[in-house]
Chains A and B, each alone.
Chain A
């Protein structure tokens, strides 16, 4: 069965340092992969997606993610974290066989950026 995992419940990083949030997936096929961010009392906001092509995807707010098929990973990265990046981050996937796009989410990773 397909699955998506975020192995870290929380990531702590100092402002200005690189930020990485990990995501791995399991699928018998080619997934479409997404990252969303959730701020308190607000809905999920789309950050970026990988469909095909270049393995390095650039998204909103300076975030990027690298798709690695051999390691079945799609880690989210930001070269220099800001305090305002503190939020809950979700990795999600959907199957290419789904024409309409049901998303399967990981459990989320809380990012805490300290000044």
Chain B
């Protein structure tokens, strides 16, 4: 499968714990995005990488959230001191710069439940 993959698919944690999610984009894609989707809502933008550089962060991304994309390949999203309000589906997407108005290809998501 050459699509976007995310790991884990599901994560249950207790409030206050740290969690880390991984996203592997389509191999030649240099742009990578993280979104968060809560029940009954559309995905909301969190952050964007072009290669290894993090170029924009949403105000939704509090200081408990950190994202990295070392070497411009896979990306990780870490949430420290999780809160119940962090429960959501975390989606990763990738696209290729230079293909006109590039569409984003989404992974299956990581569903986080904070107890």
A49 touches B101 (CB 8 A): yes
Q: Which of chain B's residues 42-74 have a Cβ closer than 8 Å to chain A?
A: 42-45, 48, 50, 55-56
Q: Is A44 located at the chain interface by the 8 A CB criterion?
A: yes
- Smallest distance from the beta carbon of B66 to chain A beta carbons, Å? 19
A101 touches B31 (CB 8 A): yes
Binds B, one of A61-69, A79-87, A102-110: A102-110
B103 touches A49 (CB 8 A): yes
User: A46 to chain B: which residues have CB within 8 Å?
Assistant: 103-105
- Complex CA gap A102/B44 in Å reads 10
- Complex CA gap A105/B42 in Å reads 5
Interface size class of B (residues with CB under 8 A): 20 to 34
A42 touches B108 (CB 8 A): yes
User: B31 to chain A: which residues have CB within 8 Å?
Assistant: 100-101
B106 touches A107 (CB 8 A): no
Name which residue of chain A comes closest to B50, CB basis. A100
A44 touches B102 (CB 8 A): no
User: B97 to chain A: which residues have CB within 8 Å?
Assistant: 100
- Smallest distance from the beta carbon of A72 to chain B beta carbons, Å? 18
**Which are the 10 A-B pairs with shortest beta-carbon distances?**
A105-B42, A43-B106, A44-B106, A43-B108, A46-B103, A51-B101, A102-B45, A105-B43, A43-B107, A32-B101
Chain B residues with CB under 8 Å of chain A are 3-4, 31, 33, 35, 40-45, 48, 50, 55-56, 91, 93, 95, 97, 100-109
Chain A residues with CB under 8 Å of chain B are 32, 34, 36, 41-46, 49, 51, 90, 92, 94, 100-108
A-B contact list, 14 entries, CB within 8 Å? A43-B108, A43-B109, A44-B93, A46-B104, A51-B100, A90-B42, A101-B31, A101-B95, A102-B33, A102-B48, A103-B33, A103-B104, A105-B42, A107-B41
